[in-house]
């Protein structure tokens, strides 16, 4: 049986990424405790880097189920641990780069980072399909 501690860390980091970008959005948007009564409304009214950070947060949450499903299925089907870790780490790094590109308003590079990050869990699922 493979060690799952690395997999758990990958999932944990991927799950925390959206919250990191949420904090960036709130700080950049001038969030106060008064705004905590309706933080979604506050974030929807932000502009500039705060709005872009909020968009990264939303996209990160949207992308998360595919990543978690792919990682868990790869673990369940006993895909080589090194392959799972390499693709998992690549996904995390690419998602961070995606966020940085979004914050910097580099739309073309952002799209490349988004696509490459999406390829990681899709490739894991292809490996799982090949084993069945």
Over residues 47-58, the mean pLDDT reads 97
Gap between the Cα atoms of 93 and 97, Å rounded: 6
CA–CA dist 12, 5 (Å, integer) = 11
Nearest CA-CA partner of 98 in 61, 130, 47, 60: 60
Question: What is the model's pLDDT at position 3?
Answer: 63
CATH of 5-131, one of 3.40.50.1820, 1.10.10.10, 3.30.70.980, 1.20.120.550: 1.20.120.550
Domain boundaries in the chain? 5-131
Which of 46, 48, 39 is closest to 19 using CA atoms? 39
List the structure tokens of 53. Answer: 């950070």
Contact of 113 with 90, CB cutoff 8 Å: no
pLDDT of residue 33: 77
Output the average pLDDT for the chain: 94
Residue 1 has pLDDT above 80, yes or no: no
pLDDT band for position 5 (cuts 50, 70, 90):
confident
Question: Does the pTM exceed 0.75?
Answer: yes
Residue scoring higher pLDDT (32 or 20): 20
89-110 residue pLDDT tens: 999 999 999 999 999 999 999 9
């Amino acid at each position: 049986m493979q060690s799952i501690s690395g997999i758990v860390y990958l999932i944990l980091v991927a799950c925390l990424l959206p919250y990191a970008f949420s904090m960036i959005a709130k700080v950049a948007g001038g969030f106060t405790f008064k705004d905590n009564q309706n933080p979604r409304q506050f974030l929807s009214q932000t502009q500039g880097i705060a709005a872009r950070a909020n968009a990264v947060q939303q996209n990160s949450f949207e992308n998360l189920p595919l990543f978690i499903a792919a990682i868990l299925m790869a673990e369940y089907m006993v895909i080589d641990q090194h392959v799972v870790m390499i693709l998992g780490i690549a996904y995390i790094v690419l998602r961070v780069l995606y966020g940085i590109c979004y914050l910097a308003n580099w739309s073309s590079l952002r799209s490349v980072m988004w696509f490459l990050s999406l390829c990681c869990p899709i490739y894991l699922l292809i490996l799982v399909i090949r084993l069945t």
